[in-house]
């Protein structure tokens, strides 16, 4: 398998981050204009302050809240040694600085998701997923979730979620 040149990957990642920030500013500008037209300057200023506070605390608070909402429980290496070893190897291959914390979801629905960033990153896997997937399939799912951490997709998805919830 051919690997992407590290410099080309860095340029691509930077371009994606810039596009995300630009999109964030365009959406914020559009919502500010709409708020101004409907409510005036004071309301827009207040909502802008609230938005900045939400974005500033997004990575530290949303992960824990989401995991609690799903009743996720942390897994220990003794409970799932193969899963931990797989996560450790995939994280090393992805050059992650910190090993994501693994969580167990008590649900029969096959599901996995990633929350948090950096040293606060976590991967949740459901009971249904653990029961239905073989070793290779589970490695693919974990690699996919680790790629979200590596590429900082979780932050962008969180921002998109804020806009989605605020427009509903």
What are the pLDDT tens digits along the chain (168 aa)?
A: 456 677 887 787 788 778 877 877 787 788 778 878 888 788 778 877 877 776 666 655 567 777 888 899 999 999 999 999 999 999 999 999 999 999 999 999 999 999 888 888 999 999 999 999 999 999 999 999 999 998 888 777 766 666 666 665
Cβ 116 vs Cβ 59: under 8 Å: yes
Handedness of CA 7, 8, 10, 14 (dihedral sign): positive
For the entire predicted model, the pTM comes to: 0.70
- The CATH superfamily assigned to 68-151 is Metalloproteases ("zincins"), catalytic domain (3.30.2010.10)
145 is catalytic: yes
Residue ranges covered by each domain of the chain = 7-58+154-167, 68-151
Cβ 149 vs Cβ 114: under 8 Å: yes
Tokens representing residue 121 in the block: 């990153």
Cβ 103 vs Cβ 114: under 8 Å: no
The active-site residue out of 85, 97, 137, 145 is 145
């Amino acid at each position: 398998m051919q690997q992407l040149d590290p410099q080309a990957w860095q340029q691509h990642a930077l371009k994606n981050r810039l596009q995300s920030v630009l999109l964030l500013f365009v959406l914020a500008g559009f919502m500010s204009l709409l708020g101004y037209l409907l409510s005036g300057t004071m309301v827009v200023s207040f909502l802008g302050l609230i938005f900045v506070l939400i974005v500033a605390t997004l990575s530290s608070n949303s992960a824990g809240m989401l995991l609690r909402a799903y009743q996720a429980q942390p897994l220990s290496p003794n409970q799932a040694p193969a899963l931990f070893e797989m996560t450790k190897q995939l994280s090393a291959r992805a050059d992650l600085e910190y090993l994501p914390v693994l969580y167990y979801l008590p649900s029969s629905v096959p599901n996995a998701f990633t929350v948090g960033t950096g040293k606060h990153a976590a991967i949740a896997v459901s009971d249904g997923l653990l029961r239905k997937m073989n070793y290779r399939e589970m490695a693919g799912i974990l690699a996919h979730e680790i790629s979200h951490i590596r590429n900082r997709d979780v932050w962008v998805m969180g921002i998109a979620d804020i806009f989605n919830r605020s427009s509903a």
